[in-house]
Structure 1
Amino acid sequence: MHRPSPIETRLAAELAEARPDLVDRYQAELPGARAAVLTRLWRALAHEPLPWVARRVRGAHSLALWLADGRALHGPRADPYATDAYVTAVRLDGEAYDDPARLMTDLGWPHSAGFAAELANSAASLALSRADREFSAEDPEEWPDRDWEWEQRVVDGHPFHPNCRSRPGFSAAEQLAYGPEHRPVVRLETVPVAAGDCLLTGDWPDGLRDGEQLLIPVHPWQRAHVLKGGSAEPWRDAHPLMSLRTLALPGGPHVKTAISARLTSSVRDISTYSIGAAMTLSAFATDLASRTDGLLHVTRTLGAVTADSPDLAALLRESPEVYAAAGERVLPVAALATTGLPGSPSWLAEFTRLALTAGLRLLDLGVALEAHGQNLLVVLSETGAPLRLVYRDLADIRLSPARLRRHGITPPDLTGRLVTDDEATLRRKLFGSLVAGALAGTAGSGPALATALETAVRHLPATPDLAALLEGPLPAKALTLMRLSPEVPGDQWAALPNPLADTR
C-alpha cells in the first residue's frame, strides 16, 4: 500500500549524510510511525466536528464515516483516549490507506494539501526520533536525576495530535542537533540590542548585559533561519526540553527562546503581549498557588525581554527542580508513561485525585490552567508516589475576574486574551488540557482513564465545575479541524464521550 513520501525520502538522504548508522533503524521505524500518526488522525476523524463528515456509524469493533461528498471511510472503533498505535490502515471507498498523508491528500478537503505535508513530516520525524530512542529501565533506581533527562525520554511528542512530531524546516541534522529526544547539548547565542529598543520586565542578569545593550538569548536554529544577518555571540550550553525552544541551563534557570517555526499547531514565537504580562502574571500565579496547601507550585518568571519582535524575545524561568527535595524527582507528566507507574490502577487513581484536586481548586478560585503533559509536572517520592505538582509556562492560562473577586482576591492588572469570565471557556481550558490531555495520556486508554476518574472523584468536594466534568461530554481541542480551517481564529473544540459514562 505504501509509497515512500518525498519527505521520508529526503530525510533518509539527509540522515545518510548526518548519521548513516541510523538509516536502517529509521527505515524500520517508518511503518510504526505512520501508524502512530494515522491513529491520531483517525481519532480526529471519528470525534471532531468536521463539516466534511456527514454521519458516523459505530459498530462493536468498527467505525464507518459517511462523507458529505458520498464517499465512505471505514476503520476500527476509535478510543479517543488511547495512546497505542492501533490503526494500521483505513479504507476510503474500499481502498486501503496506511499513510496518513496520502489519506489526507486524497480526501481533498480545504487546506488538506498543506496538512498532508505536515502529517508526512510528523511521521518521518517520529521515525527518526524512535530510531534514536534511548532511555533507562522503569526501575526507580535507574530513573534520571536531572529535569532535562526526563524530558529526553518523551520520544513520541503529543499523545493525540497528528502533528505530534511535525518539524517543518528542520533537516535531519538539525533534528538530531536540537530535538530533546536525541539528547544534544545546544550552544545558545545572544543578540545585542540597545536597551532603549527593548521591552524588559523583571530582572535581567548582569551576564546578559553589555553596557547600554541587553543580550537576548536566541536559539541557533532561529539565528540561522530567521534572524539572518546582524551580530550574535556564543553564550551558554543548554539542554533542550520537550518544547524544543525551551532549554535548561545546568545549575541555572530555564530559557524560553523564540523559534518562528510551526511545531504541532502553533508558530513558536514569543509575543510582546506575553513579555509585557510575564511578571505580573508570575507574581499573581505564585501567590494564588499558595492557596492550594502545597499541592501545586508555579515556577517563577525571573525576567522577560523582547526587541519589539516575536522573533527576537526570551524569557528566563526558574527550574522546576527547586520544588523537589532530596531524594525526590520532578518530571513532566508526559514522561510518566516511561516509568511504568501508570500501569498500577491505585497509583493512577491517586495521581488523578491529586491533579484534579489542584486543578479544580484553582479553577474555583478563578484560574484555568493549560495543564497538559508538558506544562504540568509531578514530584515523585523515592518510591514513585505522587506528592505534589509543579506548573510552568503561564502564557496560555485564563483568569476570571468575577471568580477571583468572589473569593476576595483582587484580579491582576491584565487585559486581553488571558482574561475571561465565560464559564465554558474556563472549563474547556482546564478539562481539555488536564483530563482529555494529561490524564488521558497518562492512563493510555478510555477504560483506564474511566477507572481512575471514578475512584478519584469520590474524594473531591462537590462544586459546579466538578458537576460539569461529570455530567457532560469532555471537551478537547479539535486539533485537526484547527489545521484544516486556519481562517478561523482561536481554539475550536470537540466533545468527546465522557469516560465516566459507563461507570455511573
Structure 2
Amino acid sequence: MDAPACAATAAQAASLQALLNTYLREMAPGSAVLADDRSTVEIPLSHIPARLRVRITYFSATGPHRFGPAQILFDGSSTWHSAPPVQVLTLIAQECFTRLNSRDAGQLPEFLRGLFNSNAGIEQNLIRHAGTPEPDGFLAAEQALTFGHWLHPTPKSRDGLTTWQQAAYAPEYAGEFRLTFFAADQSLVTLGSAHQAPADMLRQIPGLDGAFRLRPDEVMIPAHPLQAQMLRLDPQVQALLATGRLRDLGEAGCAFNATSSLRTLYAPGCRWMLKFSVPVRLTNSLRVTKHNELETGVLMARLLKHLDADGPRFRILNDPAYLTLTLPGRSESGFEVIFRENPFAGTDGTGIYNLAALTADPLPGRTALLTRLIQQLAADHGETPADTARLWFEAYLTCMLDPVLDLYDRHGIALEAHQQNSLLDLSTGLPSRGYYRDNQGYFIAQDALPRLNALEPSLTQQPALVYPRAHINERMAYYLVVNQIFAVIRRLGCDGLAPEPDLLLQLRRRLTTAASRLSGAGADFARYLLTAPALSAKANLLTRARNVDELETEAQEGLFLQMPNPIAAAQPQPVQERTDVLT
C-alpha cells in the first residue's frame, strides 16, 4: 500500500475511533451491548433496521478504546456484513441526530462536514509526518499532534482556514512566519501589565527594535498574519486606516512558529510567546480572545507572584501583559494579543513535552512517544520497561498531581490542567518538573476569595473566576484527572507497560496520602476523587452536534456528563514496594 493510501486508511480508523468512543460514552451507555470478554460491542441503530458490531482491540476503563473491523446486521438477516469505516462514521452520525430528535435539517450535514474536514486534516498530517523524526523537545512536540483531541468527534476540524493557510500557519506543517504590525493612536489602545510595559516586551522580539519609526503618540501592536488578514477587511479598521489613526506597518521581526493551539506563537530566541485572536474555529470554539481573558492573565500573574506559587517541581507560565485596540460598540476589537512567559527559548526547550503529544496514539508503524521514552530509559538503566513505567508514573504524579493539589489546598486556586495545557520536563529521564499554561483555566474557591482579594483587589472585577468548591471539584476532576492523568494511564496500559488497574491503585494511594497530608480544599478534592461514584467528563459529541461555541456560553465551557469513577472502583491490595529510583 502506497503512502497516501496508508494515510487514508489510518485517518479513517482514527476518525472512527474518535467518533465511536464519544458516541459510546455520551449517547449509548445504556443501549450498546458489550461482550462479556470485552472483545466486541454491538450498537443498535434506530434510524434504520440494523445493528453494528465492532471489534475492540483494547478496552480502557480510563480513556478511549481501540477498535478493529466493524460489521453490520440488518433485521431479518442472519449474516453479518463487513462495514467500512466511512459507512460506520456516517451511520453513527445519523444515529446521533436521531437520538437527539433533531428537527433542524441543516445540523447533520454540518456535523458531517466537520467530521470529514477533521478526517482530511488527520490524513494530511499523516502524510506530512510520515518521514519526520520523533519529537525531542518543546516545539517538535507542539507540532506533533497528528490526531488531535483524544476524545472529540471532530478532533482536527478547522473552520476558517483555506488549504494554503493551513499549510502556512497550522502547527503540524511546521511553518515559520513573521508577525504583522500596526501603529495605533495611543488613545485607541488598551493595555495591561503585571510588571513590565508591553512596549518594552515588544522590543525584546529579535529583529524588531528599530524596524519602524513611530510617532510620539503611537503604540505598536503585533498581529498574527491570519488576524491581520481579517482586520484589514473590517469596516471600522478600514476607517481608522483611512484617517491615519491606525497604520499598517507590514511584517517585521524574527520568524515564529505555531504551538499546538495554533494561535499561540513561539520563537526560539524570544523571551515571550504571543497569543492572538484568530478567525478559526477549532473543535468546540472560535479562537477569539475575550476581554476578561486579557484581564485575568494580568491579575493572576500579580496574584501568583504574591503567593510565590512556583516550586522546584512545578511552574505556571504566566500571561502577564496584553495589548488591544478599543473600538466603539465592541467588547473585543480583534486586535487582542497576550504576552506569555517563554522558559523554553533556545536549548531550554530540549526534553520538554506537552502531555497530549506524550500520550497520543502513534503514527502507523511507530511507537507512542511516551512508550518510546520509557523503553529507552529502561534500556539506559538496565531496568525492565514495566518497572520503569511504574517509577515514571510516580515521578509524574510528583510533578503534576501533588503541586496542583497543594496550590488548591493552600490558596483555593484550581487549574484546568488538561493534556494540552500541561507540560513535563523529561530532559533528565524521569519527569522532573511540570508546567501549566492557560489564562482561561483558573478557578477561585469562594471561601478563598476574601484572603486572595486582600492580595489582589482586582479579583472582584472577575466574578466569573469564582465558584463553590463542589463545582471546582467536578471541573478539576475532569481537566486534571479524566483528561490528563487518565490519558497517561490509558497510554501505559494500551502499550502493555503497566495494567490500568495497577496504575489506578498507584494513583489511589497517592490520593489517599494527599487526603491525609492536606487539610483544606486539596484534601477535600482528593477525598472526592477517592469516593465519588462518577466523575464529570466533557460531552464533546453533544457540544459539537448542538453546534455550541464554548466561549459563547455563560460559563465559557462546553457540556458535561458523568462517567463511572475508576479510581473509586479500584480495589486496594497489598503491593510490594520498591525503594530504588532511576538516577
* CA–CA distance in structure 2, aligned partners of residues 130 and 178 of structure 1: 17
Residue number among 328, 334, 340 corresponding to 2:356 in the alignment: 334
* Percentage of matched positions with identical amino acids: 23
* CA–CA distance in structure 1, aligned partners of residues 289 and 71 of structure 2: 39
CA-to-aligned-CA distance 1:468-497 (integer Å, 9 cap, x gap): 112222322111111122469442213223
* CA–CA distance in structure 1, aligned partners of residues 457 and 374 of structure 2: 37
The 3-state SS of whatever aligns with 2:191 is strand
In the TM superposition, what are the counterparts of 1:289-438 in structure 2 within 5 Å? 290-291=308-309, 293-308=311-326, 309=332, 311-321=334-344, 329-337=351-359, 338-339=369-370, 340-341=372-373, 344-364=389-409, 365-382=411-428, 384-403=429-448, 405=450, 410=455, 413-414=458-459, 415-416=461-462, 418-438=464-484
- Please state how far the C-alpha of 1:310 moved relative to its aligned partner: 5.2
Q: TM-score, normalised by structure 1?
A: 0.83
In the TM superposition, what are the counterparts of 1:15-414 in structure 2 within 5 Å? 25-48=3-26, 50=27, 55-60=31-36, 61=38, 62-66=40-44, 72-76=51-55, 79=60, 81-82=62-63, 85-89=66-70, 91=72, 96=83, 98-99=85-86, 101-107=89-95, 109=97, 110=102, 111-133=107-129, 134-137=131-134, 144=136, 147-202=138-193, 203-206=197-200, 207=202, 210-211=214-215, 212-225=217-230, 227-228=232-233, 230=238, 231-236=248-253, 237-252=255-270, 253-288=272-307, 290-291=308-309, 293-308=311-326, 309=332, 311-321=334-344, 329-337=351-359, 338-339=369-370, 340-341=372-373, 344-364=389-409, 365-382=411-428, 384-403=429-448, 405=450, 410=455, 413-414=458-459
Check 1:105–1:497 CA distance in 2 against 1; reply closer, same or farther (3 A cut). Answer: closer
Letter in 1 for 2:558: D
Check 1:226–1:259 CA distance in 2 against 1; reply closer, same or farther (3 A cut). Answer: same
Q: Which moved more, 1:244-253 or 1:186-195?
A: 186-195
Check 1:487–1:385 CA distance in 2 against 1; reply closer, same or farther (3 A cut). Answer: closer
Letter in 1 for 2:20: W
Check 1:369–1:184 CA distance in 2 against 1; reply closer, same or farther (3 A cut). Answer: same
Q: Is the 8 A contact 1:201 1:278 kept in 2?
A: no
- Please state how far the C-alpha of 1:411 moved relative to its aligned partner: 6.2
Letter in 1 for 2:544: R
Q: Is the 8 A contact 1:260 1:267 kept in 2?
A: yes
In the TM superposition, what are the counterparts of 1:420-499 in structure 2 within 5 Å? 420-445=466-491, 447=493, 448-459=499-510, 460-462=513-515, 463-472=523-532, 473-486=534-547, 489=553, 490-499=557-566
Gaps of 5+ in 2: 75-79, 204-211, 239-247, 327-331, 360-368, 376-388, 494-498, 516-522, 573-583
The 3-state SS of whatever aligns with 1:461 is helix
* CA–CA distance in structure 2, aligned partners of residues 44 and 416 of structure 1: 33
* CA–CA distance in structure 1, aligned partners of residues 279 and 218 of structure 2: 23
- Please state how far the C-alpha of 1:358 moved relative to its aligned partner: 1.6
* CA–CA distance in structure 2, aligned partners of residues 132 and 366 of structure 1: 44
Check 1:171–1:294 CA distance in 2 against 1; reply closer, same or farther (3 A cut). Answer: same
The 3-state SS of whatever aligns with 2:406 is helix
The 3-state SS of whatever aligns with 2:321 is strand
* CA–CA distance in structure 1, aligned partners of residues 333 and 539 of structure 2: 26
Q: Which moved more, 1:205-214 or 1:468-477?
A: 205-214
Q: Is the 8 A contact 1:334 1:442 kept in 2?
A: no
Letter in 1 for 2:524: P
Q: Is the 8 A contact 1:41 1:161 kept in 2?
A: yes
Aligned residues: 471
Larger Rg, first or second structure (1 or 2): 2
Measured on the aligned residues, the alpha-carbon RMSD in Å equals 3.2
Check 1:303–1:235 CA distance in 2 against 1; reply closer, same or farther (3 A cut). Answer: farther
Letter in 1 for 2:34: R
**Which residue is equivalent to 2:380?**
none
The 3-state SS of whatever aligns with 2:23 is helix
The 3-state SS of whatever aligns with 2:158 is coil
